[in-house]
Structure 1
């Protein structure tokens, strides 16, 4: 008797499945086609993005070679093209290198380009700080300590990638401005940071020796 009930149940299930298939078969087929097309489209997109990244990488390497050969005008044009057309990662790198090429002929214009990168919120924090550093290096001899402070203070935080260089530049700028207290402040930060590179620490100690002694109260 139980076998009969099982056969009836099985027949009912088949009938229900047949009705569901008859009712929804077109929808199921359409969904399957969409899934296959979606996976294929995504794989195609990934392939195209990989191709673009590979092409941008090769073009970037060629532009670097031009720069190393002192063909700065050609390198500048190549980096400008990458900055306009390359995928996002290479576009930022190309903007930084383009500014470096411009610096060989027009430091003020290059500093403005670095400032634009530093102000661009679509750029990563490390790249923004690097742009701040590069602009400050170009302007160190021609701008005020207050201007340098405004530019570099965000890059001196304890978790900033380029904090050591930012602090050194501010110490140098303060020293040039005859602001011994400010110079000492940045040199102390350099000295007390266990991760300060040895070469930079040595330069900071040399600058510290040039400062007037602290007045005794």
Structure 2
């Protein structure tokens, strides 16, 4: 009698396991397939980005070499190839080089456009903020204050990598447009700041002295000196043969001088 009960119980367990299997095995299969597709998709995307980084690095290096050899046409072609084939970092850097070439040809509007495109091409805050800051400096003498403020205010936030440079540029823009009190307050903060580069601190002191003495005629010289001060260098790039990701990025071009 005990054997009969055990056999019945075993058959019931077997039926229960079969029902569970019919219910959950399709679900498990779908989960496995989705995970496999996701893994393959991520691998494909990573390979694609690595390939773009390598192509961008190679083209960018050829552009720099062409510049060193005084071959501007070859440099433009190489930088354009980096823009079209490179990943975000190398595309941004190549656009900045194209902007510098536009400045050499005295094509300021083209340079501003290329710097703006460079800022949008990468998520690296050092590269993007450097490009945005250069564009703002190029517009310093011609753009209305509202446009300069819209460009510089986000860059001047304390958590941005070039905030001291942007705060200085914003103060000088306001000073040029007659807002001396606002400009002086910002310049005093820069003068006393702990993490302010020496060049910016000295220019802030000069601007404060100019405001206090009423020597408005000295403002253009201060603006020109500020435009010539380069931002901090970005991390150096690995050789093109080693480039595999946008994490490596060469230092951006020096800040533009007055045209």
Give TM-score scaled by structure 1 length.
0.69
SS for the counterpart of 1:190 is helix
> Of the two, which has the highest radius of gyration?
1
Answering whether residue 84 of structure 2 is matched by residue 89 of structure 1, we say no
Give the 5 Å matches for 1:69-80.
69-80=69-80
Give the 3 Å change call, closer, same or farther, for CA 52–70 of structure 1 in structure 2: same
Give the 5 Å matches for 1:21-170.
49-105=49-105, 106-118=107-119, 120=120, 123-124=122-123, 126=125, 127-140=127-140, 142-144=141-143, 146=145, 147-170=147-170
Aligned-residue offset at 1:153: 1.2
Checking the alignment, whether the CA contact within 8 Å between 1:96 and 1:131 is kept in structure 2 is yes
Aligned-residue offset at 1:183: 2.2
Cα distance in 2, alignment partners of residues 138 and 203 from structure 1: 18
Q: Deviations over 1:113-137 (max 9, x none)?
A: 223444x4x6426243222211112
Aligned-residue offset at 1:83: 1.0
Checking the alignment, whether the CA contact within 8 Å between 1:129 and 1:162 is kept in structure 2 is yes
Give TM-score scaled by structure 2 length.
0.59
Checking the alignment, whether the CA contact within 8 Å between 1:56 and 1:87 is kept in structure 2 is yes
Aligned-residue offset at 1:41: 8.5
Q: Deviations over 1:66-112 (max 9, x none)?
A: 23444333322221221122223322222232222222211121112
Cα distance in 2, alignment partners of residues 85 and 107 from structure 1: 26
Which consecutive residues of structure 1, in runs of 5 or more, have no partner in the other structure? 1-26
Checking the alignment, whether the CA contact within 8 Å between 2:66 and 2:74 is kept in structure 1 is yes
Which consecutive residues of structure 2, in runs of 5 or more, have no partner in the other structure? 1-25, 215-259
Note the aligned Cα RMSD (angstroms). Answer: 4.0
Answering whether residue 212 of structure 2 is matched by residue 212 of structure 1, we say yes
For this pair of structures, how many residues does the alignment match? 210
